[in-house]
Amino acid sequence: MSIRAAERQIFTLMSRLAPPANIVHVGAGTGTGYLHQWHTWDLNQAIVVDAGAEKLAWAEAKFGHAINAVVGARNEQRPFYTAGNPDENSLVPPASLQYIWPGLKPAGESDVQVQTLDTALESAGIPTPHDNTWLVIDCFCAADIVQGAATLLPVCNLVCTRVLNTDSDPEDELLHTSTLHAMTVILEPRGFRFVHLHPGLNPAAGHAFFIRDWHAHALELEKQASEQHVQQRERAETLGREKAALEKRIKEVEDAQAGLEQQVTAGKKELESKIKAETEFRQQLDEQQKQVQHMTEQKNALQQQLTQKEQQHTETAAQLKQKNDAAAALTKERDQLKQQLDAAQQAHKQTQEQLTKLKQEKEQVSQQHTQQQKQAEILGREKAALEKTNKELQDAQAGLEQQLNAGKKEFEAKVAAEKELRQQLAEYQQQVQQITEQKNTLHQQLTQKEKQNTETAAQLKQKNDAAAALTKERDQLKQQLDAAQQAHKQTQEQANTEQDQANARIKELQQQNQSLSMKEQQLQEQTADANHRQRLLQEELARAEAQIDLIKDLLLREQEKED
């Protein structure tokens, strides 16, 4: 069997052991060599990466996904070396490879931007392939490239890398990440198992094949699933406790909300009763204010009447004084008339006494007439004189009687006038007394009204203060009610948010439980499939080793024949 046939058979064997659905080929070059047998395979996606843009025309034309980039362990600036053989252009100086290829000459050096493979895929806008992906690295420093493929490596089921076939590390540290040992150290902990090293034309370098150890991977998945199941159970218990605490909190919030609603209802009722009491109080206050206004109007009317009565009393007192003065003058005049009357009566009495004495003398004269005839003429003359005097006295008496009658009439008239004046004075005094009593009554009423007004004003002030206090308390209750409603709203929103979060968490846990169940089932299936494939792999490996031994024997025989 020829070398090319053996290479094709190895690649076919690997494709049967780990069937690829996608392939990422780093250092693809011009697209030639036995590692490019995948070109004819039915793949979902093929991604080609190379540092030389001029080498990627075939990939862009055939597959579309071609990335011109230098990839490594991290994003950094590093020198890139070109050699006389373009296939050996890399981050390793050609001088470091001369112990393998003594004729390799350096051709140039330049600083380039090194990217991780994950960054290169992301920068190119190419999504990371799904499961069953081959990662082919046909260049040195493959361990660095694998380290930079942390996102891609978990979906790979085969890794093929160019390595140095040596038991010890090369002298140049840049080549330490290019050895089979370095690749084994980095891939075995990630679930891959070394299965074959295919030597190149120079046995010092070749291609190492690592296949994912499905049995170990299944055990790891089972372990992870178990750990996830424990974590899930712990999370479920934690969520159960959180749910119980949340339900308790919700119940407390609902109880607090109910208590708050009761307080709000009681506050509303109390506020409504206070508003009603305040309304009634204001109505009473308005009525009292109307009564006070009415009483004030009555007081003003009484005050006006009292002023008018006082004016009338002043006028009546002046008139009474005038009438008293007139009565005093009449009394004085009456006294004078009485004195004149007494004097006239005294004079009349004296005249009567004189007249009586004269009559007596006349009688004596008459008795002595006879005795005294001589004296008759004298007596006659005296008699005539006496008669004349008597007549004069009678005329004077008649005049005095007329004067007396006139004085009596005038006196009686004055007495009647005085009596009338006294009656009027008594009436005036009675009116003054009534007015005084009315005035006193009005004054008492006014005092009572003022007292009532003072008490009403005090009550009004108290009620105004009470109304202000009620208004202030009402405003405080409104503020408390608004604050309580706001707190209730926030509490309700928080409770709703927590309830939604709890429901979402529970739903997420249910989905995770369901997903875990499905993963466990898939894991069991994958474990069974992996065990089956492991057995097939062992059988194929046994056949492959037999064929390789056969190939080696054929090669040795051909060399012996040539020798």
Q: What is the pLDDT of residue 471?
A: 63
Distance between CA atoms of 365 and 383, rounded to whole angstroms? 10
The string of DSSP letters for 383-424 reads HHHHHHHHHHHHHHHHHHHHHHHHHHHHHHHHHHHHHHHHHH
The dihedral of CA 247, 250, 256, 258: what is its sign?
negative
Distance between CA atoms of 370 and 418, rounded to whole angstroms? 61
Task: Compute the average pLDDT of residues 77-93.
Answer: 92
For residue 88, which phi and psi values (nearest 5 degrees)?
A: -105, 15
Q: What is the pLDDT of residue 250?
A: 74
- Best-predicted range by mean pLDDT among 52-66, 184-198, 316-330, 378-392? 184-198
Asked if residues 159 and 192 have their Cβ atoms less than 8 Å apart, the reply is: yes
- At residue 218, the 3 state secondary structure works out as helix
Q: What is the pLDDT of residue 563?
A: 62
Closest by CA to 365, choosing from 392, 384, 391, is 384
Q: What is the pLDDT of residue 331?
A: 66
Closest by CA to 21, choosing from 126, 127, 129, is 129
- Tens digits of residue pLDDT in 218-264: 677 677 777 877 887 887 788 778 777 777 877 776 777 777 778 76
Asked if residues 172 and 98 have their Cβ atoms less than 8 Å apart, the reply is: no
Number of residues that this document lists for the chain: 563
| DSSP single-letter state for residue 43 | -
Confidence of residue 203 (pLDDT cuts 50, 70, 90): confident
The string of DSSP letters for 432-460 reads HHHHHHHHHHHHHHHHHHHHHHHHHHHHH
Q: Which domains does the chain have, with CATH numbers?
A: 7-212 (3.40.50)
Bigger pLDDT: 123 vs 61: 123
Asked if residues 39 and 178 have their Cβ atoms less than 8 Å apart, the reply is: no
Contacts of 156 (CB under 8 A, 6+ apart): 133, 134, 135, 212
| Element containing residue 80 per DSSP (H, E) | strand 76-83
Asked if residues 27 and 139 have their Cβ atoms less than 8 Å apart, the reply is: yes
- Tens digits of residue pLDDT in 320-348: 677 667 656 666 766 676 676 666 667 66
Label residue 255 exposed, middle or buried (CB < 10 Å: 0-12, 13-18, 19+): exposed
Q: What is the pLDDT of residue 186?
A: 94
| CA torsion, ordered 328, 331, 335, 340, to nearest 10 deg | 110
| DSSP single-letter state for residue 90 | B
Query: Which residues sit opposite 199 in a β-bridge?
Result: 206
Task: Compute the average pLDDT of residues 278-306.
Answer: 72
Confidence of residue 559 (pLDDT cuts 50, 70, 90): low
Q: Over 60: is that where the pLDDT of 372 sits? A: no
Asked if residues 108 and 81 have their Cβ atoms less than 8 Å apart, the reply is: yes
Q: What is the pLDDT of residue 317?
A: 63
Confidence of residue 480 (pLDDT cuts 50, 70, 90): low
- Tens digits of residue pLDDT in 103-122: 999 999 999 999 999 999 99
Asked if residues 119 and 148 have their Cβ atoms less than 8 Å apart, the reply is: yes
191: left (phi over 0), alpha (psi -120 to 50) or beta: left
Q: Do the strands 76-83 and 106-115 form a parallel or antiparallel pair, or are they unpaired?
A: antiparallel
Proportion of the chain above pLDDT 90, given as a percent: 22
Task: Compute the average pLDDT of residues 416-422.
Answer: 65
* Across 183-192, 209-218, 505-514, least confident range: 505-514
Q: Which amino acid is at 116?
A: T
For residue 47, which phi and psi values (nearest 5 degrees)?
A: -120, 125
- At residue 195, the 3 state secondary structure works out as strand
Bigger pLDDT: 50 vs 483: 50
For residue 228, which phi and psi values (nearest 5 degrees)?
A: -65, -35
Q: Which amino acid is at 426?
A: A
Q: What is the pLDDT of residue 505?
A: 67
Q: Over 70: is that where the pLDDT of 540 sits? A: no
Task: Compute the average pLDDT of residues 284-288.
Answer: 72
- At residue 31, the 3 state secondary structure works out as coil
Q: Over 80: is that where the pLDDT of 214 sits? A: no
C-alpha distance from residue 253 to each of 101, 239, 262 (Å): 81, 19, 14
Distance between CA atoms of 467 and 482, rounded to whole angstroms? 22
The three state secondary structure string of 132-173 is CEEEEECCCCHHHHHHCCCCCHHHEEEEEEEEECCCCCCCCH
Asked if residues 162 and 27 have their Cβ atoms less than 8 Å apart, the reply is: yes
- Tens digits of residue pLDDT in 3-39: 667 777 887 888 888 889 999 999 999 998 889 999 9
For residue 63, which phi and psi values (nearest 5 degrees)?
A: -120, -20
Task: Compute the average pLDDT of residues 357-361.
Answer: 66
